[in-house]
Amino acid sequence: MRQFSSPSDGLLGSLSGASDVDLELGDTALLRALLDAEAALVRAAADAGVLPTTAADAIVEQCRAERYDTASLGRAADASGNPVVPLVRELTAAVPEHARGWVHVGATSQDILDSALSLVAVRALGPLLRHLDAAVEAAARLADTHRDTVLVARTLGQQAAPTTFGLKAAGWLTGLVDARDRLREAGAAQPAQLGGAVGTLAAFGPAGPAVAERFAAHLGLPVSPLPWHTRRQPRLDLAAALGGLLAATGKVALDVGLLAQTEIGEVAEGGAGRGGSSAMPHKNNPVDSVLVGSAARRGPGLVATLFAAAVQEHERAAGGWHAEWEPLLDLLHLTGGAASRCARMLAELQVRPERMRRNLDATGGLVLAEAVAARLAPAVGRDAAHELVSRAAAAPSFRAALLADPQIRAHLSEAEVDEALDPYRWLGSAGLFVDSALAAVRGPQT
């Protein structure tokens, strides 16, 4: 069977990931990051005068992913519990005799794998955040275009009161921006790891801190004040940020899927050739909504695994650390796919204002009951106004019942009743909230 080089390969992987993100997550990408860490280690040690520069150069020369076979390394990893041990063995065999004693100098397997996973995460976040930027911009366009497009808000699954589609899109926008900010922060804080066998860097003597600093610099990662072998907060921050983004994209997907239901029909996913059914020729399924929602449902379990694994023994974990690797990569894979599909879904979304207005009017003005009660309350009191309007709402025609009730007509004219039943007069600060959300993303408009 062919070895998959990225999570997007295979029959199912392409349904949950994004190819450009997954290129940074596959076996080849992880192997490249492991070798980058080994190369940075010997460069840092040479910088600190711990080993000869000629040895470092010889080792770096062999730190090329194409020289090694990921499948054989994966099989060999079973004997030691991680892939670094067989990789170090093959790397040592590949370098000249004079440099072999310096391969993997002063490090432990966790140093290399933790640093490699930090690199993998940072590299994958590049294309992932580009997809997220596109989703943010698409949500902003929807909010701007439909700032005053009225539709009915729904609470507890029921029609509630008027709002605007622009405000709904602004809510999506704000959720995506908040998640993006947290993910950028967590990604930028993924540190290099170098502590040696028990976190003392004893093998480097007094040069230990200098080597650790140079190691991080060569990798382009933050340096940690001390090794974090069993202090897993950087990974928890990243896991939480990835889970938060899945929740933000999942919210968009859920709303789109509900609004696209046949009976609602207020939006539809675009994209030629997408959404077909194997059995029903008439179907136009909201595929991106479904797939983003699927990712959002898988995310919490992976985040929980990272948090459960974070309570680790003494100086080095027995299983907790090992439990992190695949869930972290799976989270990055799912989040990349969710961000990519969310961007496409929002960019191609078909919005149907006329259907929104028809659905809002379907109850004959009942969604404006709060507005009528608010007009009555100054004259009869809040509780009495609520009771009068509730009684009218039970009649076959809400407007007719309002106009026929002498207690209501004593305080509201027909024109005032009709004004209260105008959805555009009961939007509150919806437009201002949209403007605020857009200004937060685009800056104030002149």
**Per-residue pLDDT, 2:** 35
Query: Are 320 and 437 found together in one domain?
Result: no
In Å, the largest CA–CA distance within the chain is 103
Whether residue 277 lies in the annotated active site: yes
Q: Dig out the tokens for 355 from the structure.
A: 């259907």
As for how many domains the chain has, the answer is: 2
Q: Assess contact for 51 and 98: CB atoms under 8 A.
A: no
Give how far the C-alpha of residue 90 lies from the chain's centroid of Cα atoms, to the nearest Å: 37
Q: For residues 111 and 195, is the Cβ–Cβ distance under 8 A?
A: yes
The domain boundary residue, chosen from 296, 323, 356: 356
- Count Cα atoms within 13 angstroms, Cβ side, for 9: 12
pLDDT at res. 275? 59
The phi and psi torsions of 260 (rounded to 5 degrees) equal -90, -5
pLDDT at 286: 86
Both tokens assigned to 368: 């404006």
Task: Please choose, from the candidates 262, 332, 391, the residue with its C-alpha nearest in 3D space to the C-alpha of residue 118.
Answer: 332
**What pLDDT, on a 0 to 100 scale, did the predictor assign at position 443?**
80
Which CATH number belongs to the domain containing residue 414 in this structure?
1.10.40
Does 1 fall in a domain? no
Where a domain ends, among 289, 322, 356? 356
Q: Are residues 391 and 336 in the same domain?
A: no
SS (H, E, C) the chain: CCCCCCCCCCCCHHHCCCHHHHCCCCHHHHHHHHHHHHHHHHHHHHHCCCCCHHHHHHHHHCCCHHHCCHHHHHHHHHHCCCCHHHHHHHHHHHCCHHHHHHCCCCCCHHHHHHHHHHHHHHHHHHHHHHHHHHHHHHHHHHHHHCCCCEEEEEECCEEEEEEEHHHHHHHHHHHHHHHHHHHHHHHHCCCCCCCCCCCCCHHHHHHHHHHHHHHHHHHCCCCCCCCCCCCCHHHHHHHHHHHHHHHHHHHHHHHHHHHCCCCCCCEECCCCCCCCCCCCCCCCCCHHHHHHHHHHHHHHHHHHHHHHCCCCCCCCCCCCCHHHHHHHHHHHHHHHHHHHHHHHHHHCCEECHHHHHHHHHCCCCHHHHHHHHHHHHHHHCHHHHHHHHHHHHCCCCHHHHHHHCHHHHCCCCHHHHHHHCCHHHCCCCHHHHHHHHHHHHHCCCC
Q: Assess if residue 253 is contained within a domain.
A: yes
The active-site residue, picked from 180, 235, 316, 352, is: 316
- 64, 67, 80, 277: which is the annotated catalytic residue? 277
Q: Is 68 in the same domain as 169?
A: yes
Q: Do 26 and 143 fall into the same domain?
A: yes
Residues 51 and 72 in one domain: yes
- Answer yes or no: is 6 within a domain: no
Pair (204, 283) in one structural domain:
yes
Facing residues of 76 across strands? none
Is residue 316, in this structure, part of any structural domain at all?
yes
429 in catalytic set? no
Q: How far apart are CA 444 and CA 394, in angstroms?
A: 46
Same domain, yes or no, for 239 and 284? Answer: yes
At 285 the pLDDT is 83
Half-sphere exposure of 113 (CA within 13 A, CB side): 22
Instruction: Say whether both 344 and 222 belong to one domain.
Output: yes
Co-location of 410 and 301 in the same domain: no
Q: Which domain holds residue 376?
A: 357-442
Q: Domain containing 33 — which CATH number?
A: 1.20.200.10
**Do 317 and 216 fall into the same domain?**
yes
Q: d(Cα 193, Cα 60) in Å, to the nearest integer?
A: 19
Q: Are residues 336 and 386 in the same domain?
A: no
* Tens of each residue's pLDDT in the chain, 446 residues: 234 467 777 778 888 999 999 999 999 999 999 999 999 999 999 999 999 999 999 999 999 999 999 999 999 999 999 999 999 999 999 999 999 999 999 999 999 999 999 999 999 999 999 999 999 999 999 999 999 999 999 999 999 999 999 999 999 999 999 999 999 999 999 999 999 999 999 999 999 999 999 999 999 999 999 999 999 999 999 999 999 999 999 999 999 999 999 999 999 998 665 655 444 455 578 899 999 999 999 999 999 999 999 999 999 999 999 999 999 999 999 999 999 999 999 999 999 999 999 999 999 999 999 999 999 999 999 999 999 999 999 999 999 999 999 999 999 999 999 999 999 999 999 999 999 999 999 887 65
**Confidence (pLDDT) at 445:** 64
Is 2 inside a domain boundary? no
Out of 322, 356, 390, a domain closes at 356
- pLDDT, residue 3, reads 43
Together in a domain, 165 and 219: yes
